[in-house]
Amino acid sequence: MLRSLTAGIVLAFAGSRANVARTILSCAGIVVGVGALILVVTAGDLGQRFATAYSEANAGRAATLEVSAFGTVTDLDSFEEDLGRAGALEVSVYNRMESAPPLRADDEVIRNTDIVGVDAALGDIRRINMTRGRWFTEADLDSRAPVLVVNEALADRLGDFGDVQIGTDHWADVRIVGVSQGSTFNANQYSAYLLRAPSSGEIVFGPSWDPEDNSLPQPTYLARVDPSDEAAEEMFSGGVFTDRLLSASWRWGIENEEDIMVYRTDYAAETEELIGYLSLGLIGIAVITLTTGLLGVLNVGLVTVRERRRELATYRALGASRFTLFVAVVMEAVVVAVVAGLIALALSWALVAAGGALIGRFVWLPPDISMAVPPSAALVGLGSAAFVGLLAGIIPAIRALRASVVAGLRE
Amino acid sequence: MTVDTPHPVAATGRQPTPPLLRVEGLTRHFMVSGTRIDVLHDCTFDVSRGEVVAVVGQSGSGKSTLLNVLGLLDEPSSGAYTFDGVDTTSLREGRRSRLRGDGIGFVFQQFHLLERRSALANVGVPMVLGGVPLLRRRTRARELLEAVGLGHRLHSQPHQLSGGEQQRVALARALSREPALVLADEPTGALDAASSTMIMDQLIDQSRVRDAAVVVVTHDPKVAERADRVVELVEGRTR
Ligand SMILES: Nc1ncnc2c1ncn2[C@@H]1O[C@H](COP(=O)(O)OP(=O)(O)OP(=O)(O)O)[C@@H](O)[C@H]1O
Ligand SMILES: [Mg+2]
């Protein structure tokens, strides 16, 4: 048994080396089919990673809820505590300033900067890609000067950050700790995150903020909840999260359900659905291509059956059993198919790298997404190559081995 | 099977060893579009180790058919064929193949070398099937080819060799596993006198030196002359 098996494998290698024409013909079909499959899986995977990264950068990780109050929250500390009690794992204030204070660098005033007051926890809610420096930390809360993270456009404008001020009723020096990568939306617009800290509350919330009991009209928060929590299903209030939040709302001065708006900002669910349809279509294409490849290989296999009958009968006359030759023929097909699969893998890898470099020149790509063939695509490609080889080997093998030795020798 | 069984002729005074192969009442017919063609009726004979037997007969008398049965390539329609003490009629395919590979070397009328494979590779095939390791296989194949005068054509493929050279490769291949039984179907048919003598020398050596049984089908009276015994096929019967 073992002897037959090893003999079959040796004959398989010798066979694929000796019958070059047959080998190359079989290869070509598989290279195209498997190459298409690998590219399709790669495209699907990249699409998914790209969509997720995009969604996480611009709308938050799953599941991010935006919570707004239309009324005055009389005690922000209690309100934040209750957000946590309602199911929020991370909470960050998200105060997009309507008339943001101007910045000044080297005595030049810069207006039209979007400034959003946030907490350090925003870094856990959204995917924020830093190109330089770092995101906010706990230690920044003690800073006497307001702490900022600016986008690339603003960073370019500000120069070396040596002499930057923010202007309210007076100019105050600021500390810039990092530069975040812009998204397609705000690439050219100046924007900055301003850390909410004891010393910067007034800039973050403006004059309507009361530092005495920490009350503020119409605050907006971002909260991340566990996607499997039923609170994540909130859509424009009236859901579990709102109910939980309002259960002790007298502590912070809002009684009406209509005065709280909660909605889910991330599009993880929509992305998933879209990717689902997309991959279904792509898999369809891949299956068709692969089947075409399979038929090509099978055809080569069947055309060469006549030629093979004599060869196989000769082997049998020399003492090879049917089993050995079955192993040899099938192995030969599998070896050829896997080699073809490897060729296809190398070609698609080169194609994806080249394509990635080209696309990267025109489109913004999240920095943590590399344009490469993912392992899953390589595995699927090589797996189906082996499977195609197996199928394409078995049928001709059975047909070639049906003939008796003497009849085979007479072919 | 032991290779150094004493030669039956030399073993005077001892029990004669049982024959290596025996056919008894063997028949073989073919059905061709509903008509039965009886090729062999009632063949009975045996061959011992160390013996060279020539099978002669007219063209179409069934010599190749008989040799195919002896080589376990074909099964008789009826009758018994015992090889090396094994009744071959009830053997399953795997066992048959193994018995054939281990015990029988076949030289065909049409050579049947593997195309696009070097002489060295061709001679190596039975050893691959027998599980002989690569290096030993290489060395032995080279030695065998040198022994038939093809030491300078090791890497030639069949289509690059003359008929006589191909036949010598086929002979080397048949002998590569030192089979107890060597079957040759007109091994000298396509050859000139010198090559023909060389092939016959090799075959006879197999019986004299290695104590193998040799059955050779031939038209050539010179070849038949050198055999220990001649079996003649007339109208499908052995005489
Ligand atoms: N598979 C087969 N089907 C039908 N008839 C066959 C088959 N094999 C052999 N025969 C017939 O059997 C007869 C004997 O054939 P065989 O090849 O054994 O002759 P041979 O003695 O070897 O002749 P030669 O000396 O020409 O080689 C021939 O008439 C041939 O047509
Ligand atoms: Mg013949």
Q: What dotted CATH number matches B50-74+92-230?
A: 3.40.50.300
Beta bridge partner(s), residue A346: none
List the residue whose alpha carbon is closest to atom 28 of ligand 1.
B60
C-alpha torsion angle, residues B140, B143, B145, B147 (rounded to 10): -140
- The two three-digit tokens of residue A225, written as one number: 């909840």
Atom 24, ligand 1: residue with shortest CA distance: B59
Q: Tell me the domain boundaries of chain B.
A: 50-74+92-230
pLDDT of residue B6: 46
**Cα–chain-centroid distance for residue A364?**
14
Stated as kind and residue range, the H or E segment containing B201 is: helix B193-210
The predicted structure's pLDDT at residue A185: 57
The CB of B31 under 6 Å from ligand 1? The reply is no
pTM above 0.95, yes or no: no
- Ligand 1 pocket, mutate which of B64, B186, B215, B217 (most atoms under 8 A from CB): B64
Best probe residue, ligand 1, of B28, B32, B37 (max atoms within 8 Å of C-beta): B37
Strand pairing report for A72-73 and A108-110: unpaired
Res A235: pLDDT: 65
Encode chain B (239 residues) as per-residue pLDDT tens digits: 444 444 444 444 455 678 999 999 999 999 999 999 999 998 999 999 999 999 999 999 999 999 999 999 999 999 999 999 999 988 998 899 999 999 999 999 888 999 889 999 999 999 999 999 999 999 999 999 999 899 999 999 999 999 889 999 999 999 999 999 999 999 887 778 888 888 899 999 999 999 999 999 998 888 899 999 999 999 889 88
CB atoms within 10 A of CB B130: 17
The answer to whether the Cβ–Cβ distance between B131 and A11 falls below 8 Å is: no
Structural domain boundaries, residue A300 = 2-56+270-410
Q: Are A168 and A203 in contact (CB under 8 A)?
A: yes
* Whether residues A234 and A361 fall in one domain: no
Residues A185 and A323 in one domain: no
Task: Collapse the DSSP code of A12 into the 3-class scheme (helix H, G, I; strand E, B; otherwise coil) and give the result.
Answer: helix
Same domain flag for A183 and A86: yes
Residues of chain A with pLDDT under 70: 1, 182-187, 234-237, 363-369
- What's the CA gap between A27 and A43, in Å, rounded? 24
Query: Do residues A114 and A199 share a domain?
Result: yes
Same domain for A112 and A228, yes or no, is: yes
Q: Which residues surround ligand 2, an ion (CB under 5 A)?
A: B 64
| Atom number of ligand 1 nearest to Cα B67 | 18
Q: Which of A223, A245, A267 is the last residue of a domain?
A: A267
Shared-domain flag, residues A40 and A73 = no
Predicted local distance difference test score (pLDDT) of residue B11:
44
Proximal ligand: closest to the CA of B69: 1
For A411, nearest residue in chain B (alpha carbons):
B112
Verify that A7 and A153 share a domain, yes or no: no
- The CA distance from B99 to B114, in Å, is 21
Q: Establish whether residue B64 lines the binding site of ligand 1, counting it when its CB lies within 6 angstroms of any ligand atom.
A: yes
Instruction: Note the pLDDT of residue B164.
Output: 87
Domain's final residue, options A267, A284, A309: A267
Together in a domain, A218 and A85:
yes
Could you give the number of structural domains in chain A? 2
Which of B93, B101, B110 faces A318 most closely, judged by CB atoms?
A: B101
- Pair (A299, A202) in one structural domain: no
Residue where a domain terminates, one of A267, A294, A315: A267
Task: Measure the CA–CA gap between B32 and A311, rounded to whole angstroms.
Answer: 25
**In a shared domain, residues A133 and A225:** yes
Q: Does A406 sit within 8 Å of B74, measured CB to CB?
A: yes
Q: What is the DSSP string of A258-273?
A: GGEEEEE---HHHHHH
**Are A318 and B93 a contacting pair at CB < 8 A?**
no
